[in-house]
Amino acid sequence: MINIFLLSRRIARDIETIEYMKHATTVVPSHELFVSFGVEDTILGNKENNFYVPLPKNADYGMVMAIGYYIIGKIQKSQHHWFKENLVAYTERANKLFKTGIKPIVE
């Protein structure tokens, strides 16, 4: 199982294996969404905040990545567009700070 939280600090994100989750990473209860791939989560988070994504038995790394990115995209699309609203300001700050020339849109 892999739990995914994405979208910077405004929305918490983390990606962990079930083995790692045993290391006190969920001591403080929260209302975060737990997305589990391949193994249904019955112990972490609140039941109403768990989203299980079944995987075929022959699922490989590429398939998990593709499904994961698809689901992450759906979650991002359902949220406020913080990334889009802040991208230009971020690149301006990063360029000054790191003396670089990154652009908000890849040409």
| Coarse DSSP helix, strand, coil percentages of the chain, rounded to the nearest 5 percent | 40, 15, 50
Higher pLDDT, 32 or 81: 81
Range of the domain at 33: 2-79
Residue 98 lies inside a defined structural domain of this protein: no
Establish if 87 belongs to a structural domain: no
At 55, list the tokens. 């995987």
Please indicate, yes or no, if residue 24 is contained in any of the structural domains.
yes
List the beta strands (DSSP E) in the chain. 2-4, 15-17, 34-37, 50-53
Q: Which residue has the higher pLDDT, 13 or 90?
A: 90
What are the tens digits of pLDDT across the range 28-53? Answer: 666 777 888 888 877 776 788 888 99
The answer to whether position 91 is within a domain reads no
In a domain, residue 13? The reply is: yes
User: In angstroms, how far is the first alpha carbon of the chain from the final one?
Assistant: 37
Comparing 100 with 13, which gets the higher pLDDT? 100
Q: How many domains does the chain have?
A: 1
- Using CA atoms, how far apart are residues 32 and 6, in angstroms rounded to an integer? 11
**Two tokens at 101?**
């020339």
**Residue at 90 is within a domain:** no
DSSP class of 31: -
